[in-house]
Amino acid sequence: MSGFNDFAIARALHVLAVLLWIGGVAFVTLVLLPACRALAEPKAQLELFERLENRFAGIARWSVLLAGASGAWLVWRLGVGSRFADPANWWWMHGMVIVWTLFAAMLFILEPFVLHKAFQASARLDPLGTMARIQRVHVVLLSVSLIVVLGAVAGSHGGWVFPT
């Protein structure tokens, strides 16, 4: 076997990017946020969370960019763009695009330009409530992401095709 298998490389990069990205979201949601919220001093919770989560933000941004680029390339390479016209059978492809768009908007626009300041202002008035809201948003994002990942893995291996 010789030659350059561009499809295998693109799929491997796509899986690696999603693994780093969603795995990081799981860590932040299930470990980091609960640990920060367990602190005795409520005002220190958001500061600690932002300081630690900021270290992951760069990894998440690069992972989201790689997942988007490799995903778009795979759709082009496989010639499966027409699947987006059939959401009932290819819902997981739509799900991947929706989840990617949400995270791209969060990481590149909302968090740096809107949410950071909003959370700071909210935390001054209600630090515990602010951290609870941040955790709820993360739980929702992680839950939706995991459903889409499950659907995408099963769907890309024929798991959602039912005999008629």
Identity of residue 45: Q
pTM: 0.90
The number of angstroms, rounded, from the C-alpha of 70 to the middle of its chain's C-alpha atoms is 15
Q: Is the pLDDT of residue 1 over 60?
A: no
pLDDT band at 29 (very low <50, low <70, confident <90, very high): very high
What pLDDT score does 89 carry? 86
CB-based burial label for 45 (10 Å; 0-12, 13-18, 19+):
buried
